[in-house]
Chains A and B, each alone.
Chain A
Amino acid sequence: MLEKKIEDIEIQLLLEGLYQRYHYDFRHYAWASVKRRLKQAREQMGFRSFSALQESLLHDPGMLGRLLGYLTIQVSEMFRDPSYFRAIREKVVPHLRTYPSLKVWIAGCSSGEELYSFVILFREEGLEQRTLFYATDINQDALGKAEAGIYDLDRIQMFTENHRKSGGKSSLSDYYSAAYGKASFDKSLRRQVVFSDHSLVTDAVFAEMHLVSCRNVLIYFDRDLQDRALGLFKDSLTRKGFLGLGSKESMRFSNHADSFADCVREEKIYQKRTE
Protein backbone atom coordinates (compact mmCIF):
# COMPACT_ATOMS: atom_id res chain seq x y z
CA MET A 1 0.00 0.00 0.00
CA LEU A 2 2.82 2.39 0.86
CA GLU A 3 4.28 1.92 -2.60
CA LYS A 4 0.98 2.95 -4.19
CA LYS A 5 0.93 6.15 -2.18
CA ILE A 6 4.42 7.06 -3.34
CA GLU A 7 3.29 6.65 -6.93
CA ASP A 8 0.40 9.03 -6.34
CA ILE A 9 2.74 11.61 -4.81
CA GLU A 10 4.99 11.30 -7.83
CA ILE A 11 2.09 11.84 -10.20
CA GLN A 12 0.96 14.93 -8.32
CA LEU A 13 4.49 16.33 -8.43
CA LEU A 14 4.73 15.56 -12.14
CA LEU A 15 1.49 17.43 -12.86
CA GLU A 16 2.65 20.34 -10.71
CA GLY A 17 5.97 20.43 -12.59
CA LEU A 18 4.18 20.30 -15.94
CA TYR A 19 2.12 23.31 -14.88
CA GLN A 20 4.95 25.39 -13.43
CA ARG A 21 7.34 24.67 -16.27
CA TYR A 22 5.02 24.75 -19.29
CA HIS A 23 1.67 26.15 -18.02
CA TYR A 24 -0.29 23.09 -19.05
CA ASP A 25 -2.64 22.46 -16.17
CA PHE A 26 -3.84 18.89 -15.67
CA ARG A 27 -4.04 19.20 -11.90
CA HIS A 28 -7.82 19.17 -11.93
CA TYR A 29 -8.35 16.45 -14.44
CA ALA A 30 -10.25 13.40 -13.25
CA TRP A 31 -7.59 11.46 -11.39
CA ALA A 32 -8.30 7.91 -12.51
CA SER A 33 -7.98 8.68 -16.22
CA VAL A 34 -4.94 10.93 -15.85
CA LYS A 35 -3.19 8.26 -13.83
CA ARG A 36 -4.00 5.64 -16.43
CA ARG A 37 -2.72 7.82 -19.26
CA LEU A 38 0.45 8.73 -17.39
CA LYS A 39 1.14 5.08 -16.60
CA GLN A 40 0.87 4.33 -20.28
CA ALA A 41 3.23 7.21 -21.07
CA ARG A 42 5.75 6.09 -18.47
CA GLU A 43 5.73 2.48 -19.68
CA GLN A 44 5.90 3.27 -23.37
CA MET A 45 8.56 5.94 -22.99
CA GLY A 46 10.58 3.54 -20.88
CA PHE A 47 10.86 5.41 -17.57
CA ARG A 48 11.27 3.42 -14.36
CA SER A 49 9.31 5.91 -12.27
CA PHE A 50 7.20 9.03 -12.59
CA SER A 51 9.98 10.92 -10.87
CA ALA A 52 12.37 9.95 -13.67
CA LEU A 53 9.79 11.04 -16.22
CA GLN A 54 9.38 14.32 -14.34
CA GLU A 55 13.11 15.02 -14.38
CA SER A 56 13.27 14.48 -18.10
CA LEU A 57 10.18 16.62 -18.68
CA LEU A 58 11.55 19.54 -16.67
CA HIS A 59 14.91 19.61 -18.43
CA ASP A 60 13.99 18.59 -21.97
CA PRO A 61 11.29 20.70 -23.67
CA GLY A 62 11.10 18.06 -26.40
CA MET A 63 9.39 15.80 -23.88
CA LEU A 64 6.41 18.13 -23.59
CA GLY A 65 4.86 17.26 -26.93
CA ARG A 66 5.34 13.56 -26.34
CA LEU A 67 3.70 13.69 -22.95
CA LEU A 68 0.82 15.86 -24.18
CA GLY A 69 0.25 13.24 -26.84
CA TYR A 70 -0.61 10.80 -24.07
CA LEU A 71 -2.46 13.23 -21.82
CA THR A 72 -4.75 14.74 -24.41
CA ILE A 73 -5.29 11.90 -26.84
CA GLN A 74 -8.91 11.93 -27.97
CA VAL A 75 -10.42 9.28 -30.13
CA SER A 76 -13.44 10.46 -32.06
CA GLU A 77 -15.42 9.68 -35.16
CA MET A 78 -17.20 11.81 -37.70
CA PHE A 79 -20.85 12.12 -36.73
CA ARG A 80 -20.18 10.16 -33.54
CA ASP A 81 -23.60 9.45 -31.97
CA PRO A 82 -25.58 10.13 -35.16
CA SER A 83 -28.69 10.93 -33.11
CA TYR A 84 -26.87 13.96 -31.66
CA PHE A 85 -26.25 15.38 -35.12
CA ARG A 86 -29.79 14.55 -36.17
CA ALA A 87 -31.04 16.55 -33.18
CA ILE A 88 -28.74 19.48 -34.08
CA ARG A 89 -30.14 19.37 -37.61
CA GLU A 90 -33.78 19.08 -36.63
CA LYS A 91 -34.01 21.03 -33.37
CA VAL A 92 -31.14 23.55 -33.36
CA VAL A 93 -30.64 24.48 -37.02
CA PRO A 94 -34.18 25.98 -37.37
CA HIS A 95 -33.27 28.48 -34.61
CA LEU A 96 -29.86 29.20 -36.11
CA ARG A 97 -31.42 30.00 -39.48
CA THR A 98 -32.96 33.13 -37.96
CA TYR A 99 -29.53 34.75 -37.47
CA PRO A 100 -27.79 36.62 -40.31
CA SER A 101 -24.38 35.47 -39.10
CA LEU A 102 -23.31 32.66 -36.80
CA LYS A 103 -20.42 31.65 -34.61
CA VAL A 104 -19.89 28.02 -33.66
CA TRP A 105 -17.25 26.78 -31.25
CA ILE A 106 -16.00 23.20 -31.33
CA ALA A 107 -14.18 23.11 -28.00
CA GLY A 108 -11.60 20.36 -27.64
CA CYS A 109 -11.75 19.56 -31.35
CA SER A 110 -8.81 17.15 -31.20
CA SER A 111 -8.04 15.82 -34.69
CA GLY A 112 -11.11 17.45 -36.21
CA GLU A 113 -13.66 14.70 -36.83
CA GLU A 114 -16.43 16.56 -35.05
CA LEU A 115 -15.50 19.87 -36.70
CA TYR A 116 -15.84 18.41 -40.20
CA SER A 117 -19.13 16.81 -39.19
CA PHE A 118 -20.48 20.25 -38.27
CA VAL A 119 -19.15 21.99 -41.36
CA ILE A 120 -20.69 19.34 -43.63
CA LEU A 121 -23.98 19.52 -41.75
CA PHE A 122 -24.02 23.33 -42.01
CA ARG A 123 -23.20 23.17 -45.73
CA GLU A 124 -26.06 20.73 -46.26
CA GLU A 125 -28.37 23.10 -44.42
CA GLY A 126 -27.16 26.15 -46.34
CA LEU A 127 -25.67 27.82 -43.27
CA GLU A 128 -21.95 27.36 -43.90
CA GLN A 129 -21.39 30.68 -45.67
CA ARG A 130 -22.74 32.74 -42.82
CA THR A 131 -20.93 30.78 -40.12
CA LEU A 132 -17.53 31.18 -38.54
CA PHE A 133 -16.31 28.00 -36.88
CA TYR A 134 -13.77 28.11 -34.07
CA ALA A 135 -11.97 24.80 -33.59
CA THR A 136 -9.84 24.82 -30.45
CA ASP A 137 -7.66 22.38 -28.58
CA ILE A 138 -4.67 22.52 -26.24
CA ASN A 139 -2.75 19.95 -28.24
CA GLN A 140 -0.86 21.50 -31.19
CA ASP A 141 -0.31 18.14 -32.87
CA ALA A 142 -4.02 17.42 -32.77
CA LEU A 143 -4.81 20.88 -34.16
CA GLY A 144 -2.36 20.21 -36.97
CA LYS A 145 -4.19 17.00 -37.79
CA ALA A 146 -7.52 18.77 -37.66
CA GLU A 147 -6.23 21.38 -40.08
CA ALA A 148 -4.91 18.69 -42.41
CA GLY A 149 -8.20 16.77 -42.42
CA ILE A 150 -6.64 13.46 -43.43
CA TYR A 151 -8.00 10.24 -41.97
CA ASP A 152 -7.34 6.56 -42.44
CA LEU A 153 -9.48 5.19 -45.22
CA ASP A 154 -10.56 2.24 -43.13
CA ARG A 155 -12.45 4.61 -40.82
CA ILE A 156 -14.46 6.12 -43.68
CA GLN A 157 -17.01 3.35 -43.83
CA MET A 158 -18.01 4.04 -40.22
CA PHE A 159 -18.02 7.80 -40.82
CA THR A 160 -20.25 7.28 -43.86
CA GLU A 161 -22.66 5.10 -41.95
CA ASN A 162 -22.81 7.63 -39.09
CA HIS A 163 -23.38 10.47 -41.54
CA ARG A 164 -26.25 8.61 -43.15
CA LYS A 165 -27.83 7.82 -39.78
CA SER A 166 -27.53 11.46 -38.76
CA GLY A 167 -29.87 12.44 -41.59
CA GLY A 168 -27.10 13.50 -43.98
CA LYS A 169 -28.46 15.06 -47.16
CA SER A 170 -25.39 14.48 -49.31
CA SER A 171 -22.87 11.72 -49.82
CA LEU A 172 -19.82 11.85 -47.58
CA SER A 173 -17.71 10.86 -50.59
CA ASP A 174 -18.43 14.31 -52.06
CA TYR A 175 -16.11 15.82 -49.45
CA TYR A 176 -12.93 13.76 -49.62
CA SER A 177 -10.57 12.22 -52.11
CA ALA A 178 -9.01 8.87 -51.41
CA ALA A 179 -5.40 7.92 -52.11
CA TYR A 180 -2.80 5.65 -50.56
CA GLY A 181 -5.08 4.40 -47.81
CA LYS A 182 -6.02 7.90 -46.70
CA ALA A 183 -9.07 10.07 -47.14
CA SER A 184 -8.22 13.73 -47.55
CA PHE A 185 -11.07 16.12 -46.80
CA ASP A 186 -11.62 19.02 -49.17
CA LYS A 187 -9.95 22.27 -48.23
CA SER A 188 -13.13 24.20 -49.00
CA LEU A 189 -14.47 22.73 -45.73
CA ARG A 190 -11.88 24.81 -43.89
CA ARG A 191 -12.73 28.13 -45.53
CA GLN A 192 -14.91 29.23 -42.64
CA VAL A 193 -12.80 27.69 -39.87
CA VAL A 194 -10.38 29.30 -37.44
CA PHE A 195 -8.08 26.80 -35.71
CA SER A 196 -6.72 27.95 -32.41
CA ASP A 197 -4.85 26.90 -29.32
CA HIS A 198 -7.21 27.37 -26.37
CA SER A 199 -7.41 25.81 -22.93
CA LEU A 200 -10.69 25.38 -21.11
CA VAL A 201 -8.64 25.23 -17.93
CA THR A 202 -6.63 28.44 -18.14
CA ASP A 203 -7.96 30.58 -21.01
CA ALA A 204 -10.94 32.96 -21.19
CA VAL A 205 -13.92 33.75 -23.38
CA PHE A 206 -12.85 34.95 -26.85
CA ALA A 207 -16.05 35.50 -28.88
CA GLU A 208 -19.82 35.43 -28.61
CA MET A 209 -21.14 32.08 -29.79
CA HIS A 210 -24.49 30.82 -31.02
CA LEU A 211 -23.55 27.19 -30.56
CA VAL A 212 -20.86 25.47 -28.52
CA SER A 213 -20.24 21.77 -28.98
CA CYS A 214 -17.90 20.14 -26.49
CA ARG A 215 -18.27 16.41 -26.38
CA ASN A 216 -16.41 13.89 -24.24
CA VAL A 217 -14.00 16.51 -22.99
CA LEU A 218 -15.65 17.35 -19.67
CA ILE A 219 -15.60 13.71 -18.55
CA TYR A 220 -11.84 14.11 -18.16
CA PHE A 221 -12.25 17.02 -15.73
CA ASP A 222 -12.97 16.91 -12.03
CA ARG A 223 -16.11 18.64 -10.83
CA ASP A 224 -14.45 22.01 -10.13
CA LEU A 225 -12.94 22.11 -13.56
CA GLN A 226 -16.20 21.02 -15.18
CA ASP A 227 -17.78 24.00 -13.47
CA ARG A 228 -15.13 26.33 -14.83
CA ALA A 229 -15.59 25.07 -18.37
CA LEU A 230 -19.38 25.23 -18.17
CA GLY A 231 -19.08 28.79 -16.83
CA LEU A 232 -16.89 29.62 -19.81
CA PHE A 233 -19.49 28.21 -22.20
CA LYS A 234 -22.24 30.10 -20.43
CA ASP A 235 -20.35 33.38 -20.71
CA SER A 236 -19.46 32.70 -24.35
CA LEU A 237 -22.99 31.98 -25.47
CA THR A 238 -25.31 34.59 -26.80
CA ARG A 239 -28.83 34.89 -25.35
CA LYS A 240 -30.61 31.60 -26.00
CA GLY A 241 -27.42 30.10 -27.45
CA PHE A 242 -26.99 26.33 -27.61
CA LEU A 243 -24.59 23.99 -25.84
CA GLY A 244 -24.07 20.36 -26.84
CA LEU A 245 -22.28 17.92 -24.52
CA GLY A 246 -21.33 14.25 -24.80
CA SER A 247 -24.07 11.67 -24.35
CA LYS A 248 -22.84 10.74 -20.86
CA GLU A 249 -21.99 14.23 -19.69
CA SER A 250 -24.45 16.00 -17.50
CA MET A 251 -25.15 19.39 -15.99
CA ARG A 252 -26.72 17.65 -13.05
CA PHE A 253 -23.80 18.04 -10.68
CA SER A 254 -22.86 21.56 -11.81
CA ASN A 255 -23.38 25.02 -10.28
CA HIS A 256 -24.41 26.29 -13.71
CA ALA A 257 -27.34 23.91 -14.13
CA ASP A 258 -29.81 26.74 -13.50
CA SER A 259 -28.38 28.83 -16.33
CA PHE A 260 -29.39 26.29 -18.95
CA ALA A 261 -32.66 24.69 -20.04
CA ASP A 262 -32.95 21.32 -21.76
CA CYS A 263 -33.31 21.69 -25.50
CA VAL A 264 -33.02 18.03 -26.48
CA ARG A 265 -32.70 16.25 -23.19
CA GLU A 266 -31.68 12.79 -24.35
CA GLU A 267 -28.95 14.24 -26.58
CA LYS A 268 -27.57 16.57 -23.89
CA ILE A 269 -28.30 19.67 -25.94
CA TYR A 270 -28.99 22.69 -23.75
CA GLN A 271 -30.11 26.24 -24.38
CA LYS A 272 -28.91 29.18 -22.34
CA ARG A 273 -31.71 30.78 -20.37
CA THR A 274 -32.40 34.49 -20.66
CA GLU A 275 -31.41 36.04 -17.34
Chain B
Amino acid sequence: MGTSAEAIVIGASAGAVEALSVILPSLPADYEVPMLIVVHVPPDNKGILAQLFQAKCNIEVREAEDKEPISDGTAYFAPPDYHLLVEPDKSLSLSSDAPVLFSRPSVDVLFESAADAYGADLIAIVLTGANEDGAEGLRAVADAGGTIIVQSPEGAYASAMPAAAIAACPNARVMSLEEIAAYLQDVEKT
Protein backbone atom coordinates (compact mmCIF):
# COMPACT_ATOMS: atom_id res chain seq x y z
CA MET B 1 0.00 0.00 0.00
CA GLY B 2 2.74 2.42 0.96
CA THR B 3 0.49 4.68 3.05
CA SER B 4 2.35 6.35 5.87
CA ALA B 5 1.49 8.77 8.67
CA GLU B 6 3.09 10.23 11.73
CA ALA B 7 -0.06 9.82 13.81
CA ILE B 8 -3.71 8.83 13.67
CA VAL B 9 -6.49 10.73 15.43
CA ILE B 10 -9.92 9.23 16.03
CA GLY B 11 -13.15 10.76 17.33
CA ALA B 12 -16.22 8.83 18.40
CA SER B 13 -19.30 9.25 20.55
CA ALA B 14 -22.43 7.10 20.94
CA GLY B 15 -21.49 3.53 19.98
CA ALA B 16 -17.78 4.25 20.32
CA VAL B 17 -16.79 1.19 22.33
CA GLU B 18 -18.28 -1.24 19.81
CA ALA B 19 -16.76 0.64 16.86
CA LEU B 20 -13.29 0.91 18.41
CA SER B 21 -13.52 -2.77 19.33
CA VAL B 22 -13.49 -3.58 15.63
CA ILE B 23 -10.51 -1.34 14.91
CA LEU B 24 -8.04 -1.29 17.82
CA PRO B 25 -7.75 -5.01 18.64
CA SER B 26 -7.03 -5.73 14.95
CA LEU B 27 -3.72 -3.85 15.07
CA PRO B 28 -0.60 -5.97 15.60
CA ALA B 29 1.74 -5.64 18.59
CA ASP B 30 4.49 -4.12 16.43
CA TYR B 31 2.20 -1.42 15.04
CA GLU B 32 4.17 1.82 15.18
CA VAL B 33 1.84 4.70 14.40
CA PRO B 34 0.62 6.44 17.59
CA MET B 35 -3.12 7.00 17.94
CA LEU B 36 -4.89 9.77 19.80
CA ILE B 37 -8.51 9.10 20.58
CA VAL B 38 -11.36 11.24 21.85
CA VAL B 39 -14.51 9.50 23.01
CA HIS B 40 -17.35 11.42 24.61
CA VAL B 41 -17.75 9.97 28.09
CA PRO B 42 -19.31 11.27 31.31
CA PRO B 43 -16.89 13.32 33.49
CA ASP B 44 -16.68 10.81 36.33
CA ASN B 45 -15.81 7.86 34.11
CA LYS B 46 -12.21 7.67 35.35
CA GLY B 47 -9.80 5.88 33.04
CA ILE B 48 -12.19 3.11 32.17
CA LEU B 49 -11.75 3.18 28.38
CA ALA B 50 -7.98 2.83 28.47
CA GLN B 51 -8.26 -0.11 30.85
CA LEU B 52 -10.94 -1.75 28.78
CA PHE B 53 -8.97 -1.52 25.55
CA GLN B 54 -5.59 -2.35 27.06
CA ALA B 55 -7.13 -5.68 28.00
CA LYS B 56 -8.19 -6.51 24.45
CA CYS B 57 -5.45 -4.90 22.34
CA ASN B 58 -1.98 -5.93 21.20
CA ILE B 59 -0.79 -2.33 21.15
CA GLU B 60 -0.16 -0.26 24.28
CA VAL B 61 -3.26 1.69 25.41
CA ARG B 62 -3.13 4.50 27.97
CA GLU B 63 -5.02 7.51 29.25
CA ALA B 64 -3.15 10.64 28.16
CA GLU B 65 -1.17 12.64 30.73
CA ASP B 66 -0.34 16.30 30.46
CA LYS B 67 3.02 17.09 28.76
CA GLU B 68 3.62 13.43 27.97
CA PRO B 69 5.77 12.87 24.87
CA ILE B 70 3.84 10.81 22.31
CA SER B 71 5.31 7.30 22.03
CA ASP B 72 5.16 5.15 18.93
CA GLY B 73 2.87 2.16 19.01
CA THR B 74 0.67 3.63 21.71
CA ALA B 75 -3.00 4.58 21.70
CA TYR B 76 -3.88 7.46 24.02
CA PHE B 77 -7.41 8.17 25.21
CA ALA B 78 -8.37 11.69 26.26
CA PRO B 79 -9.17 11.71 29.99
CA PRO B 80 -12.82 12.36 30.84
CA ASP B 81 -13.59 16.05 31.42
CA TYR B 82 -10.40 17.34 29.70
CA HIS B 83 -9.64 18.37 26.15
CA LEU B 84 -6.68 16.58 24.60
CA LEU B 85 -4.34 18.58 22.36
CA VAL B 86 -1.09 18.01 20.48
CA GLU B 87 1.75 20.50 20.97
CA PRO B 88 4.11 21.44 18.11
CA ASP B 89 6.88 19.35 19.75
CA LYS B 90 4.58 16.29 19.49
CA SER B 91 3.82 16.07 23.17
CA LEU B 92 0.32 15.88 24.59
CA SER B 93 -1.34 18.62 26.56
CA LEU B 94 -4.67 18.82 28.32
CA SER B 95 -7.04 21.69 28.94
CA SER B 96 -10.13 22.28 31.00
CA ASP B 97 -11.43 25.01 28.74
CA ALA B 98 -15.19 25.13 28.29
CA PRO B 99 -16.84 22.24 26.47
CA VAL B 100 -17.04 22.65 22.68
CA LEU B 101 -20.40 21.57 21.22
CA PHE B 102 -21.25 20.38 24.74
CA SER B 103 -18.27 18.04 24.64
CA ARG B 104 -15.16 17.81 26.79
CA PRO B 105 -13.08 16.14 25.53
CA SER B 106 -13.88 17.53 22.10
CA VAL B 107 -12.98 15.85 18.83
CA ASP B 108 -12.63 19.23 17.10
CA VAL B 109 -10.08 20.45 19.66
CA LEU B 110 -7.92 17.34 19.21
CA PHE B 111 -8.18 17.31 15.42
CA GLU B 112 -7.40 21.02 14.99
CA SER B 113 -4.31 20.91 17.19
CA ALA B 114 -3.13 17.67 15.57
CA ALA B 115 -3.60 19.19 12.11
CA ASP B 116 -1.34 22.03 13.24
CA ALA B 117 1.32 19.73 14.64
CA TYR B 118 1.38 17.04 11.94
CA GLY B 119 0.17 18.77 8.78
CA ALA B 120 -0.12 16.28 5.91
CA ASP B 121 1.33 13.39 7.93
CA LEU B 122 -1.91 12.81 9.78
CA ILE B 123 -4.86 10.47 9.36
CA ALA B 124 -8.10 11.59 10.99
CA ILE B 125 -11.12 9.36 11.42
CA VAL B 126 -14.65 10.26 12.52
CA LEU B 127 -16.71 7.32 13.78
CA THR B 128 -20.23 6.83 15.10
CA GLY B 129 -21.86 9.55 17.21
CA ALA B 130 -25.05 11.49 17.79
CA ASN B 131 -23.79 15.08 17.55
CA GLU B 132 -21.70 17.17 15.16
CA ASP B 133 -18.37 17.21 16.97
CA GLY B 134 -15.48 16.35 14.66
CA ALA B 135 -16.77 17.94 11.45
CA GLU B 136 -14.85 21.22 11.91
CA GLY B 137 -11.75 19.41 13.06
CA LEU B 138 -11.84 17.05 10.11
CA ARG B 139 -11.94 20.03 7.80
CA ALA B 140 -8.87 21.46 9.51
CA VAL B 141 -7.04 18.16 8.93
CA ALA B 142 -8.07 18.19 5.27
CA ASP B 143 -6.95 21.83 4.89
CA ALA B 144 -3.54 20.89 6.28
CA GLY B 145 -3.25 18.11 3.68
CA GLY B 146 -3.97 15.17 5.98
CA THR B 147 -5.95 12.05 5.11
CA ILE B 148 -9.57 12.07 6.25
CA ILE B 149 -11.80 9.07 6.77
CA VAL B 150 -15.40 8.82 7.97
CA GLN B 151 -17.30 5.73 9.05
CA SER B 152 -20.17 5.09 6.67
CA PRO B 153 -23.27 6.59 8.35
CA GLU B 154 -25.47 3.69 7.17
CA GLY B 155 -23.48 1.19 9.20
CA ALA B 156 -22.92 3.46 12.18
CA TYR B 157 -24.65 2.97 15.53
CA ALA B 158 -25.40 6.72 15.45
CA SER B 159 -25.21 8.42 12.06
CA ALA B 160 -25.29 12.14 12.94
CA MET B 161 -21.58 12.59 13.61
CA PRO B 162 -20.30 10.81 10.48
CA ALA B 163 -23.02 12.48 8.40
CA ALA B 164 -21.99 15.93 9.67
CA ALA B 165 -18.34 15.11 8.95
CA ILE B 166 -19.16 14.10 5.37
CA ALA B 167 -21.26 17.22 4.88
CA ALA B 168 -18.30 19.35 6.04
CA CYS B 169 -15.77 17.31 4.05
CA PRO B 170 -17.35 15.85 0.92
CA ASN B 171 -13.95 14.48 -0.17
CA ALA B 172 -13.57 12.28 2.89
CA ARG B 173 -13.12 8.57 2.27
CA VAL B 174 -16.21 6.78 3.56
CA MET B 175 -15.60 3.25 4.84
CA SER B 176 -17.14 0.55 6.98
CA LEU B 177 -15.47 -0.27 10.30
CA GLU B 178 -13.92 -3.40 8.79
CA GLU B 179 -12.51 -1.39 5.89
CA ILE B 180 -11.08 1.20 8.29
CA ALA B 181 -9.43 -1.57 10.33
CA ALA B 182 -7.91 -3.12 7.19
CA TYR B 183 -6.75 0.27 5.95
CA LEU B 184 -5.04 1.16 9.22
CA GLN B 185 -3.23 -2.18 9.40
CA ASP B 186 -1.32 -1.19 6.26
CA VAL B 187 -0.31 2.26 7.46
CA GLU B 188 3.35 2.68 8.31
CA LYS B 189 5.00 5.25 10.54
CA THR B 190 6.44 8.17 8.60
Contacts and interface: CB of A to CB of B under 8 A. Distances in A.
Interface of A: 1, 4, 30-33, 35-37, 73-76, 216, 218-220, 222-223, 226, 246-250, 252-253
14 contacts: A30-B87, A31-B88, A33-B95, A35-B116, A36-B112, A36-B113, A75-B98, A76-B96, A222-B87, A246-B96, A248-B66, A248-B82, A250-B67, A253-B68
A32 B116 CA distance: 9
B126 interface: no
Q: What is the interface of chain B mostly: helix, strand, loop, or mixed?
A: loop
Contacts of B96: 74-76, 216, 219, 246
A248 B85 contact: no
Given A223-B67, A248-B79, A37 B145 contact: no
B97 A1 contact: no
A239 B62 CA distance: 35
B15 interface: no
Interface in B116-165: 116-117, 119, 144-145
B177 interface: no
B94 interface: yes
Contacts of A220: 95
Interface residues of B, number: 24
Given A33-B93, A36-B109, 14 more contacts: A31-B87, A31-B88, A32-B113, A32-B117, A73-B98, A74-B96, A75-B98, A76-B96, A219-B93, A219-B94, A219-B96, A248-B65, A248-B82, A248-B94
A238 B156 CA distance: 56
B86 interface: yes
Contacts of B112: 36
Contacts of A33: 85, 93, 95, 97
A60 to B, nearest CB: 26
Interface of B: 65-68, 79, 82, 85-88, 93-98, 109, 112-113, 116-117, 119, 144-145
Nearest to A246: B96
B110 to A, nearest CB: 10
Contacts of A247: 79
Contacts of A226: 67
B65 A250 contact: yes
Contacts of B88: 31-32
A73 B94 CA distance: 15
B79 to A, nearest CB: 5
B59 to A, nearest CB: 22
Indicate the member of B66, B85, B144 with the most A CB atoms within 10 Å: B66
Contacts of B145: 1
